[in-house]
Amino acid sequence: MPELPEVEVTRQSFAQRIRGARVTGVRLGKPLRWPLGCEAQHIVGQPVGEVVRRGKYLWVALGNGGLLMHLGMSGSLAFSETPPPPGAHDHFDLVTTLGTLRLTDPRRFGAVVWSEALDRPPAATLLAALGLEPFDERFDGAWLHRQLRGRRVSIKQALLSGRIVVGAGNIYACEALFEAGIHPARAAGRISLPRCVRLADAVRGTLARALQLGGSTLRDFRDAHGMEGRFQQHAQVYGREGQPCLRCGAAVRRSVQGQRATYYCAHCQT
């Protein structure tokens, strides 16, 4: 699933290229997770403004509202001046005077939804439960410690929920917890303030590195230029079951939490 780094890398790869264009057409393929919410003709003729990200959503501002996009489990966006004919998995085209923004999504869990504004339904409803952005200045150890207080769920599940901080998807949660020396199964409410400080720093640092490396490509992620991510090549624990820990040499372990694979070092993470 594309996580925050992959979505942000995608945004950066086309945001400036499409800004200032005018929509000349909209093509809808097979239905996605939610309906568009307006007639396609309502979008035609609108100028394209800024493209911003909130969590794993992208907002493409238009003259009379905007499109909230989500890549789902397997989606990707490509922007091209001369795109090829749409294939079986190409389910949305935003055709503009500067090129075509195309959503490809084999599993069709992605979405493109029209909204009058980010703070109006349906966009506001979809974004309401999201936690802080990891690079928000308010996200620090003290804030994290307050949010975790009393929570019995494991710390990894708390991170994955996205209700405290967005962007710490499965790969990045595993890596941040290793960096902070915290066992992924430890109860979230039992993590001390000093350890929360380390964890907040680790979350930010892990996601910053992922952005620098273009995100992670485990199966089919590409940015709007068609480029793969490289973070997975630098993972310290993720995908390394049975291999020696890069810190202590003990074997990296794998478990399953909430139907997601978890990788950790039982010696380094307590």
Q: Kindly list the averaged pLDDT for each block of 10 residues, start to end, along the chain of length 270.
A: 86 96 97 95 97 97 96 92 95 98 95 97 96 96 97 97 93 96 98 98 94 68 50 88 97 95 97
Exposed, middle or buried, 178 (CB in 10 Å: 0-12/13-18/19+)?
Answer: buried
Q: What are the pLDDT digits (tens) for 146-177?
A: 999 999 999 999 999 999 999 898 999 999 99
2 classed as catalytic: yes
Which phi-psi region, left, alpha or beta, contains residue 258 (left: φ > 0; alpha: ψ -120 to 50)? left
- According to DSSP, the β-strands at 90-96 and 99-104 are antiparallel
* DSSP assignment letter at 267: T
Amino acid at 224: A
The single residue of 3, 6, 8, 175 carrying the catalytic annotation is 3
Determine the Cα angle at 125 with ends 44 and 176, to 5°. 105
Catalytic residue among 2, 5, 134, 184: 2
Sign of CA dihedral 193, 198, 202, 205: positive
Q: Per the residue annotation, which of 11, 56, 102, 195 is the catalytic one?
A: 56
> Model pTM?
0.90
Query: For residues 9 and 215, is the Cβ–Cβ distance under 8 A?
Result: yes
Q: Which of 19, 33, 186, 260 is catalytic?
A: 260
The domains of the chain, with CATH numbers, are 4-127 (3.20.190.10), 141-264 (1.10.8.50)
> Position 31: which residue type?
P
Active-site residue, 260 included: yes
| SS3 assignment, position 133 | coil
30 catalytically annotated: no
Rounded-to-integer distance, Cα 130 and Cα 225, Å: 28
